[in-house]
């Protein structure tokens, strides 16, 4: 079921209606079954795998918490952790396992061993086990509440990653339908639809043919396409996040924001924190800080960063491209740290104001170009193709992309950035800063019209569904 589609809106509408109509005692059972039904559209076997992971972590966490000795706690903790990780590694990275040795039938491997969203719900269950082991909170006594916190359909496929106990607390307190929540959630869903269908899919339809025949295009074309791609991913993934947050809001559940206008960051390090914020927060809490973070020697600090970025690459996939992308990002973060004092002194010497327009423009352009550069590794099919794109960028010639396509890309980028100017909060709907009621309503009308105009195009899968 495509998240940005009319069938999904019908599914969501029925869930909202029935959830608040049913008795409180069976609401969450209904929502759990609805979440499993939603996930079953992507593969019935995926539901069974998620149920297995849910049961393992639920049971081992409870035994871990109630164990009387430290050694017993460790045993139950590691059983849950290792089984959870084993399922994740086996199903996520099957392509690097020698199927000939394991004698798996080739006809079933690709279909059954790539569960959609496994990275997201595995990180959630791992975090739950770790938090219970560290006694941050007691394990949930109700299997229904815990299973629903894992499978809650708005954030199941691609986040945002929220802790189970936070969702469970909200589910237990959730009682009456809120018109304010429904209106706010509807605005977020509308904004997410616009970013996904109008912006991201329009850019994708232009740049996908370029990567199918790179040799045909010149350097300027490839530079524009590389920049356009990172905005496509941003509009696509942040659009999904807005739909997810809006859907949960309609059901009375608050999910954290995932994006905070990342291209307006002061530097690449800040960009990384403001892009896919819940993944960054998870890695910081459960990996980076336990390793020592930056409160250690400089060498150890840089190693901790290297380890985290290596995990980010592997989380996206065990390919050379994802590793090159993640390690390139690590190098930019490292460069940002090492040149910080120099950049401050240079700005003072040139009499540039810290929050001045010139600094903002330089920061914006540099962040966009750095992200676009490493984005080539993310988009290209192979490492060889990535280097070929970089090589072709310096081969200037007549544009083969066409004036209309170039203008369409630039228009999409301009519209996206312009509309975000009216978004005050990372999780707020896009138009809260438009104070004139008539202008705000007119903007909604134009956006709805734009969505309807382009909705007849073929569906393009969300970029992060593959993870």
- As annotated, the active-site residues are 316
Backbone angles phi, psi at 293, to 5 degrees: 55, -135
Whether the bond into 296 is cis, omega within 30 of 0: no
Sign of CA dihedral 177, 178, 183, 184: negative
Residue 101 CA to residue 95 CA, distance in Å, equals: 13
Phi-psi region of 308 (alpha: psi -120 to 50; beta: other; left: phi over 0): alpha
Q: Is 137 exposed, middle or buried (0-12, 13-18, 19+ CB in 10 A)?
A: middle
CB 125 within 8 A of CB 54: yes
Residue that the structure tokens 């998620």 belong to: 50
Angle, CA of 366, 279 and 313, to the nearest 5°: 70
Strand, helix or coil at 326? Answer: helix
- How is residue 44 written in tokens? 């019935």
Other CB atoms within 10 A of residue 257 CB: 17
Other CB atoms within 10 A of residue 221 CB: 24
Residue 427 CA to residue 443 CA, distance in Å, equals: 19
Phi-psi region of 43 (alpha: psi -120 to 50; beta: other; left: phi over 0): left
Angle, CA of 208, 213 and 217, to the nearest 5°: 95
Q: Is 186 exposed, middle or buried (0-12, 13-18, 19+ CB in 10 A)?
A: middle
Residue that the structure tokens 């040795």 belong to: 101
CB 462 within 8 A of CB 3: yes
- How is residue 320 written in tokens? 């050379």
DSSP assignment of 201-238:
HHHHHHHHHHHHSGGGS-HHHHHHHHHHHHHHHHHHHH
Residue that the structure tokens 């530079």 belong to: 223
């Amino acid at each position: 079921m495509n998240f940005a589609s009319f069938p999904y809106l019908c599914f969501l509408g029925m869930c909202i209606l029935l959830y608040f109509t049913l008795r409180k005692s069976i609401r969450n059972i209904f929502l759990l079954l609805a979440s499993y039904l939603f996930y079953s559209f992507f593969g019935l076997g995926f539901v069974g795998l998620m149920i297995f992971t849910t049961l393992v972590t639920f049971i081992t966490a409870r035994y871990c918490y109630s164990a009387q000795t430290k050694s017993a706690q460790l045993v139950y903790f590691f059983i849950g952790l290792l089984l959870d990780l084993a399922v994740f590694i086996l199903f996520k990275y099957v392509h690097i396992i020698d199927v000939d040795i394991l004698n798996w039938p080739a006809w079933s491997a690709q279909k059954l061993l790539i569960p959609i969203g496994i990275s997201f719900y595995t990180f959630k269950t791992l975090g739950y086990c770790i938090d219970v082991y560290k006694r941050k909170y007691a394990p949930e006594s109700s299997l229904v509440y815990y299973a629903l916190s894992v499978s809650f359909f708005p954030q199941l496929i691609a986040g945002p990653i929220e802790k189970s106990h936070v969702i469970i607390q909200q589910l237990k307190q959730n009682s009456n339908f809120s018109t304010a929540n429904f209106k706010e959630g509807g605005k977020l869903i509308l904004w997410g639809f616009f970013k996904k269908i109008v912006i991201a899919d329009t850019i994708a339809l232009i740049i996908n043919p370029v990567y199918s025949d790179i040799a045909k295009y010149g350097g300027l074309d490839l530079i524009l396409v590389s920049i356009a791609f990172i905005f496509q991913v941003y509009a696509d993934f942040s659009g999904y996040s807005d739909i997810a947050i809006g859907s949960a809001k309609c059901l009375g559940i608050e999910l954290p924001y995932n994006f905070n206008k990342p291209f307006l960051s002061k530097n690449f390090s800040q960009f990384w924190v403001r892009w896919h914020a819940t993944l960054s927060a998870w890695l910081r809490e459960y990996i980076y800080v336990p390793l020592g973070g930056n409160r250690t020697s400089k060498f150890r600090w840089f190693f901790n960063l290297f380890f985290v970025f290596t995990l980010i690459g592997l989380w996206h996939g065990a390919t050379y491209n994802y590793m090159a992308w993640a390690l390139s990002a690590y190098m930019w973060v490292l460069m940002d740290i090492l040149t910080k004092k120099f950049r401050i002194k240079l700005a003072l010497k040139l009499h540039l104001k810290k929050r001045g327009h010139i600094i903002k423009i330089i920061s914006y352009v540099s962040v966009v170009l750095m992200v676009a550069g490493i984005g080539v590794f993310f988009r290209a099919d192979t490492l060889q193709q990535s280097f070929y794109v970089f090589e072709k960028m310096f081969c200037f010639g007549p544009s083969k992309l066409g004036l209309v396509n170039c203008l369409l890309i630039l228009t999409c980028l301009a519209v996206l950035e312009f509309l975000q100017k009216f978004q005050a909060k990372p999780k707020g709907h896009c138009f809260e800063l438009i104070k004139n009621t008539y202008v705000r309503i007119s903007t909604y009308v134009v956006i709805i019209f734009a969505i309807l105009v382009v909705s007849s195009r073929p569906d393009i899968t969300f970029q992060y569904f593959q993870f």
